[in-house]
Amino acid sequence: NAGVTQTPKFRVLKTGQSMTLLCAQDMNHEYMYWYRQDPGMGLRLIHYSVGEGTTAKGEVPDGYNVSRLKKQNFLLGLESAAPSQTSVYFCASNDRDRGRTDTQYFGPGTRLTVL
Amino acid sequence: SQQGEEDPQALSIQEGENATMNCSYKTSINNLQWYRQNSGRGLVHLILIRSNEREKHSGRLRVTLDTSKKSSSLLITASRAADTASYFCATVQNRDDKIIFGKGTRLHILP
């Protein structure tokens, strides 16, 4: 099993450009999450999904959109990138829907720079 | 605002010593978890403690939970160079699907 994978690993954008980050998991988890990590801020939840076709806002959703068309994929979109969105983005999934441990399985991250 | 706050923000100790990190949170929780992040990598789950538990052990890790004080501590015994990393607590509130992380403690083990 590959676990949680993220594409791309690195990206540089210009202000105003758009892009989509892809997260894929092969563990058949229902729950998936997008976080951003900034120095001194820890991880902040952007959006999450509790199943295919569902999405919900987290702590810092503004400027981002998400879609969960397939259970294994969770997409994070930036419609008009801003320098404040320069960050490392992490995707995670967990198995809480099966009454298990709420363990988050994280991807390796995407480092995004917006100029 | 973030649910969990770790303390201290940074900690340096000699190899072989014990390291203690604390986490405080604001609202009632279902469970609290600790994660480790090595530089440039994703987070890795270490241990979970439920709101009706007071202490859990896993190898060299010991976690305590005090729900009356809304706080948790992570103890790493007999530290090793490989324990150098950032450590985060994460909380899951009752009847909520969000898993909220704190800002983390940077632990550096000196040789």
What letter represents residue A84's amino acid?
Answer: S
Mean pLDDT of chain B: 92
Residue B1: pLDDT over 60: no
CA distance B102 to chain A (A): 6
CB-closest option in A41, A56, A103 to B45: A103
Mean pLDDT for B59-83 is 96
Q: In this complex, do B31 and A35 lie within 8 Å of one another by their Cβ atoms?
A: no
| C-alpha to C-alpha distances, B69 to A34, B26, B66, nearest whole angstrom | 30, 10, 6
Residue A112: pLDDT over 60: yes
Contact predicate B82/B100, CB 8 Å:
no
Q: What is the DSSP letter of A103?
A: -
Q: What is the DSSP letter of B53?
A: -
Question: What are residue B73's DSSP bridge partners?
Answer: B22, B64
Residue B71 confidence class, pLDDT cut points 50, 70, 90: very high
pLDDT at A8: 96
Question: What number of C-beta contacts closer than 8 Å exist between A and B?
Answer: 61
Task: Looking at mean pLDDT, say which of A88-92, B28-32, B47-51 comes out highest.
Answer: A88-92
Structure tokens at B86: 């950032």
pLDDT at A100: 56
